[in-house]
Every structure is written in structure tokens, then in C-alpha cells.
Homo-oligomer: A and B are copies of this chain.
Amino acid sequence: MNPTIKDVAKYANVSIATVSRIVNGLPGYSEDTKKKVQEAIEALGYQPNAIARGLINKRTQTIGVLFPEVSGMLSSEVLEGVENAAHDGGFSVIVCNTTSSGKRTVKYLRLLQEKRVDGIIFASEDVKEEYYKIFQEMKVPVVLVSTASSNYDLPFVRVNDFEGAFQATEHLIKKGHRQIGMIGGSRNDPIAGVPRMRGFKEALQKHSLAFSEDHITTNEGYRFQNGKESLPVLLKQLPNMTALFAASDEMAIGAMSAAHQQGIKVPEELSIIGYDNLKIAEMCYPALTTVSQPLKDMGQTAGEILVKLIKGEEKEAKSQFMPFTIVERQSVCDLRDK
């Protein structure tokens, strides 16, 4: 099969220890032998076997990344960042698509455990006790991205959802809107659901605007369809609404689509602000004003933290809140102009 270190050693007339030293840049050989060995490596096309290395070093140079949905636009941008950081740090990444299923997640974690990955990135989902136990068993660093855990002490990389929602809402208020609705997520979702709704509510209250349950619709998911179906409901609850905040870009665009269908002009008759700044946000018409999460950066940062943790360059990693910005595009109009 593939040439091994033994073949190289034989070809170059040295011991395998010497070859290993040369390959790994350790000291202990003359320039002459180094050249000889390098020629042998070249001649045979030798590639060190990472599996054998992993066995003895107890390091696989591989990390696992768990996403609830790989093909989601949110996930894919985060993934790109993670992959980038991992690669720069000399690690490969194994992707795992949990489909938000506990069973599948556990199965994947077991797999990653068997494969002896050096670390784990866990994205966009709540950390169940079951998972945390496995993390502990595995004794590898874990970093959370786009999520956080109240029960367990795990470093995370995310934006402050409360603040993001608060400022998104304030943005609408500053533009002169007074009747503002929200298309929210789930009340059971402690990460993207509750804090964003709280941010919305408190922004209204800060500016002494009325708030009631009628100002919000909740949804199971954060998808286009959820937003599309929510708009009519919200409109019924809050007939003279002039602006709305959607807890995700997909929902915002869904609402926009529903508005188009009903002949409601965006932004003239209804302003919409989203959350995420997915690539589609600038592709829709009118381009969506939204709270920008630096998704790729978040992935990248999470990857970098994990790599440092694995390499032992940092002992206890600090969690990190990433800055968000409000990207003004065309889906919000300024009422004060009129």
C-alpha cells in the first residue's frame, strides 16, 4: 500500500526513529542524513499516517461541529468561520447534522467520542443534561456558538440577544414609529426566543409606548413560513401597526412576502426590521434592514477559542459577546419625514 516510515528508513538506510525526527523537525541528525531521508521521502511519496500518529499522540487534530441544521443559512455561515479557524489551527472539522433531535445528537456525540476528536463546537441549541454528561466523559473542550447554557459552565460565542432586540426596536421608535409589532420565536426557546421578546418589550416600555400580548405573535420556528403566516395574525391583533420587528430574517422576509400579497407597501405602509443579516437580507426587495450578527466571525472566533483550549494556550476560556450592528437598508421608512 502506501509507503510507511519503515520503507523510508530502509530506503535511506537509517532507523525509523531518525526518519520520525526529521519529519517532525526534532533535533538529532546531521544535514547529510536529513538530505538522504528527504530524498527517500520524495522518491517514495511518503505521507505520514495521521491515524498512527493519533493513536500514540492521543491527538487527532480533528474537531466536531454539531448543528441543528447544516443547510440553514445561519449554520452554513457559522460553519465557514469554524472551518476556517480550525484549518488555520491545523485541525479538520467533522460536521454533524443533529436535526434538533436529542437521539441523533447523542448518537453523534458518541461517534465523536469514539473518533477521539480533540474538541467540540456546539451550535444554536440548548445544552441538555444528557449532552453535558457526555462532554464531561469526553474530557475535551467544548465551545458554544450562537447559544449559551444557563445550567452549565461552558464558554460561548454569541451576541447579546436582548440588546440586539432592544436596539432593533429602538431603531423603529427613533424613526417615528409608535405602533410596533413583533413576530417572535418560541417562549420555550431560552436563547433566541425569550431574550428577543424581552428586548422588544423593554424598548417599548422605556419609550413609554403601550405594550400588551397583542403586540407579539409567537412561533415554533424561525422560518419563512412562520413569518408569512404570522403577519395576518399580527395585523389583526394590531391593526394600525406601522412597523414590525421579526426575530429572524427569514421570518421578516416571510412577513414581507405576505405584505406584498396583501398589497401592503413595504416600507411605505409597513416597516420591517429583521434579525441575523443573512445573505438573503440584501437580496430581497426592498433590501432588509436588520440586526447583523457577525455569523462567520462568530464561527471563526469559536473555532479559535476551541483551538487555543485544545492546545492548552488558554486554560479557562472566557465567553465572548460579539458586537452586533444595525444594518440600515430599505425596509424601514422614516415616519418623521412625513
| Chain B residues whose CB sits within 8 angstroms of the CB of A71 once the complex forms | 73, 76-77, 79-80, 279, 296
Contact with B along A60-99 (1 / 0, CB 8 A): 1010000001111101110110011001000011111100
Alpha-carbon distance A48/B55, docked complex (angstroms): 12
Q: Please measure, in the bound complex, the distance between the C-alpha atom of A73 and the C-alpha atom of B278, giving whole angstroms.
A: 11
Q: Is the CB of A257 within 8 A of B280?
A: no
* A260 and B283 contact, CB distance less than 8 A: no
Report whether B285 and A256 are in contact in the complex, using a CB–CB cutoff of 8 Å.
yes
A235 to chain B, nearest CB (A): 17
Binding site for B on A (CB under 8 A): 1, 45, 47-52, 54-55, 58, 60, 62, 69-73, 75-77, 79-80, 83-84, 87, 92-97, 110-111, 113-116, 137, 139, 224, 250, 253-254, 256-257, 260, 279-280, 282-287, 296
Q: Can you list 25 A-B pairs with a CB-CB distance of less than 8 A? A: A47-B110, A48-B114, A50-B116, A51-B55, A62-B94, A69-B80, A70-B80, A70-B83, A71-B73, A71-B77, A72-B76, A80-B97, A83-B95, A83-B96, A83-B97, A84-B97, A87-B97, A92-B94, A94-B95, A95-B95, A224-B283, A257-B283, A280-B283, A284-B285, A285-B285
